[in-house]
Amino acid sequence: MMASSPDFIASGGTALRGEIRVAGDKSISHRSVMLGSIAEGVTEIEGFLEGEDSLATLAAFRAMGVRIDRPSPGRVTVHGVGLHGLQAPAGDLDLGNSGTSMRLLAGLLAGQSFATRLVGDASLTRRPMARVAEPLRLMGAQIDTAPGGRPPLEIHGAAALKGIEYRMPVASAQVKSALLLAGLYAQGTTRVIEPAPTRDHTERMLAGFGYPLRREGALAELQGGGRLQGAALQVPADISSAAFFLVAASIAPGSDLLLRGVGINPTRTGVIGILRAMGASIEILAERESGGEPVADLRVRGAALRGIVIPEELVPLAIDEFPVLFVAAACADGETLLRGAEELRVKESDRIEVMARGLRALGVELETYPDGIRIRGGASLAPARIDSGGDHRIAMAFCVASLRATGPIVIGDCANVATSFPGFRALAGSVGLQVDEQPPADSEPL
């Protein structure tokens, strides 16, 4: 564990009560800067996530000559340079911990006239990029990876891209988005066919920027060579961030919590469907639209959860929320079974293995599989010291678990919480979940 990475001490609490708005949606924040940069005219973004991942995307486009102003927190003004106005950066584009930035940029940069090199931190350097590089090569892109298809990515310029029809072997919004972004620069038609639905923020936002795109069932299709026009965008609150509070209020008896302005895009609401199937009390209130995305307020109250077999069709719609859903399963009555989620093993950490190790330290009985986990819930959780594996979502999930633990949970290696949810500890404390920070301990976590 790096000496500079703090520990969290999660002391739990009682009932969660109040009204909050969680951080802006990270997926939409990334895409708003990317598309605003290659649009013509000015794009005004409200609710931008001021986290390290989103800021890495912003910095990359500044390095390619795009003027981006930040007049106040959460507000970003992008002065677009058009589809062919990006400039060669002076050096590597360092994307930190952001796999979304790297995969989407691989597509967008594949059709540029200049070469780029995409690098990241130690965690990102372990993540697979061949799933993006290989279909982009079918379009004519010249991309080199490190051994094993890992970063850094070397994207050679001046490639003449051609549209292809690509049937994705595994559902992945990031791969789909990379191909559609490359398709903007390709000659002819780019068609992407998904094996299962994934988040569709790229398709919605392309339409919001005035770019023609056809969607029909599992198909997304566009023609290269069009134009994007700058737009005004409101980023909804991130349902992946809201998920921690949905589970926290569900497992803490007597809770009554209102989450304002949460994005409820149907390709992202698997967490709500899974929790409701487990018996959670979640109301969807004041449904409306913001920037082409459906938004609502969510009211969640404490409930007695029960174990379920998670429907495989919901897995791609909740892939980022499973760490905290595992905590819900540990607090539910009976067994919860997840299969078809092999994607979890190649996130910021191997989320199946790291969560399993932490849950076992809390006294939870479970079995793991290559593509999932079986969790036997219902037992009280023991205090323990946990290693988050440097994974922000795992760190926050075990903070939530402290609500049902018999003593504090110490979570090591929590620096990356800032990548997805700046202000998490303060917001948690405002509704009754106590999480303190301390310098890293000398001893290694279990």
pLDDT in tens, the chain (446 residues): 334 678 999 998 889 999 999 989 999 999 999 999 999 999 999 999 998 899 999 999 999 999 999 999 999 999 999 999 999 999 999 999 899 999 999 999 999 999 999 999 998 999 999 999 999 999 999 999 999 999 999 999 888 999 999 999 988 999 999 999 999 999 999 999 999 888 899 999 999 999 999 999 999 999 999 999 999 999 999 999 999 999 999 999 999 999 999 999 999 999 999 999 999 999 999 999 877 799 999 999 999 999 999 999 999 999 999 999 999 999 999 999 999 999 999 888 999 999 999 999 999 999 999 999 999 999 889 999 999 999 999 999 999 999 999 999 999 999 889 767 889 999 999 999 999 998 765 544 44
DSSP labels for 225-294? S---B--EEEPPBPHHHHHHHHHHHHHSTT-EEEEEEEE--TTTTHHHHHHHHTT-EEEEEEEEEETTEE
CA dist list (Å): 3 to 120, 410, 412, 446: 19, 16, 11, 17
Phi, psi for 86 (deg, rounded to 5): -65, 150
Is 53 a residue of the active site? no
CA distance 258 to 52: 26
Specify the pLDDT at position 441: 53
3-state secondary structure 97-137: CCHHHHHHHHHHHCCCCCCEEEECCHHHHCCCCHHHHHHHH
Q: Pick the catalytic residue: 53, 121, 297, 320? A: 320
Confidence (pTM): 0.86
Consecutive H or E run containing 1: none
How open is the CA angle 7-12-17, to the nearest 5 degrees? 125
Domains identified in the chain and CATH numbers: 7-24+236-438 (3.65.10.10), 26-234 (3.65.10.10)
CA distance 54 to 70: 13
